[in-house]
Chains A and B, each alone.
Chain A
């Protein structure tokens, strides 16, 4: 399946007034958007909010998309930016309300298909990811969960490949240490 031509046709149809084409695009990418946001923010409601925001941007700005990158990269860039903004908003909200408890508010595990063992694994990973600094978390998630290359991540984030690699190595090392500590 050629995603690019599929996406091109769907965009073309949507811009011609076919609402169903937009729905198809949304269904195609909504889970990817959700999971990236979920792993960055660690909260179901926040992740759902990001999905809604990204869909809204897609709906209103697809007419300006010029295929200089893939649609997935374009959508990912929006998801990445909105997730970072939400992270900053959450930090500020905690500061202004003197709530220094960084525990996740809504895990939303009822929305995820999983057995008990998977749920525990999921909770553990979310806790570990939340302990990474933001820059390390984003690169770690994009490399390991979103399976993006350093070049693609550089394209999305605007950061140099060298800087991304350095952050990635630090992130991986930290995750290893956190997992070891967790097991002990």
Chain B
């Protein structure tokens, strides 16, 4: 048994009679053990002095009235709390639904043509371009960038065009004059999508 353990057991009166006698004998001859023992005794002495701590009667007398008061208000508090929680849960549910609706709504700003065209599926793109068919007045109103985006969308549909000529859309546009671009626009917008577009 370690020294500290023996000291603590001695102080807690947990040693056997023989162990106690042996411990006391050892302490008589060992200054270090005596010093160490005294440190533990100091702790016990402090504890003993504090065991007698008592509360003032004012406080003691206030405990039960506070208890009964809490019992009375506690029931109202419980109902109020339950309603608050229910309201909170409902609010979270409504917010959650609203967020999900926004998230899945695929809301696209109609003024943002690029976003609009990218959101179209193949058939919708075809339908859109067909609407522009031959109507130069319409696409004159549309900014050039927007036309470009629509045409990019078109080239996606007609990937065989790009593949057949091994070119990208920007390469086409970069090399053409304004008049030639005009012709290309008209051709693409008027054409049958399965036909090749001569350049």
Query: Do A and B interact?
Result: yes
Residues of A within 8 A of B (CB): 23, 26-27, 30-31, 34-35, 48, 51-52, 55-56, 59, 110-114, 118, 121-122, 124-125, 143-145, 168-169, 172-173, 175-176, 179-180
5 additional contacts, CB 8 Å, given A52-B70, A169-B5? A35-B53, A48-B66, A113-B54, A125-B47, A172-B40
Query: Given the interface contacts A23-B64, A113-B54, A122-B50, does A179 sit within 8 Å of B71 by beta carbon?
Result: no
6 A-B pairs closest in CB distance: A111-B59, A113-B54, A144-B47, A176-B39, A55-B67, A175-B43
In the complex the two chains form, what is the Cα distance from A176 to B5 in whole Å?
13
In the complex the two chains form, what is the Cα distance from A31 to B4 in whole Å?
33
- A-B contacts, 19 listed (Cβ < 8 Å): A30-B60, A30-B63, A55-B64, A56-B71, A110-B56, A112-B55, A113-B55, A114-B53, A118-B50, A121-B49, A122-B50, A122-B53, A145-B50, A145-B51, A172-B4, A172-B40, A175-B43, A179-B39, A179-B46
CB B123 to nearest CB in A, in angstroms, measures 54
Residue of A30, A122, A144 with most chain B CB atoms under a 10 A cut-off = A144
- Chain A interface helix/strand/loop/mixed: helix
Q: Which residue of B lies closest to A22 (CB)?
A: B64
Q: Is the CB of B64 within 8 A of A26?
A: yes
Give how many B residues have a beta carbon under 8 Å from the other chain's beta carbons.
Answer: 28
In the complex the two chains form, what is the Cα distance from A30 to B64 in whole Å?
9
Contacts of B12 in A (CB 8 A): 143
CB A43 to nearest CB in B, in angstroms, measures 14
In the complex the two chains form, what is the Cα distance from A67 to B66 in whole Å?
28
Q: Which residue of A lies closest to B5 (CB)?
A: A169
Q: Is the CB of B4 within 8 A of A113?
A: no
Residues of B within 8 A of A (CB): 4-5, 8, 12, 39-40, 42-44, 46-47, 49-51, 53-56, 58-60, 63-64, 66-67, 70-71, 74
CB A52 to nearest CB in B, in angstroms, measures 6
Q: Which residue of B lies closest to A144 (CB)?
A: B47
CB A114 to nearest CB in B, in angstroms, measures 7
Query: Given the interface contacts A59-B71, A122-B50, does A111 sit within 8 Å of B43 by beta carbon?
Result: no
Contacts of B39 in A (CB 8 A): 176, 179-180
Within the complex, which residue of B40, B46, B60, B67 is in contact with A52, where a contact is CB–CB below 8 Å?
Answer: B67
Contacts of A112 in B (CB 8 A): 53-56
In the complex the two chains form, what is the Cα distance from A27 to B66 in whole Å?
13
Contacts of B74 in A (CB 8 A): 56
Contacts of A173 in B (CB 8 A): 4, 8
Q: Is the CB of B8 within 8 A of A52?
A: no
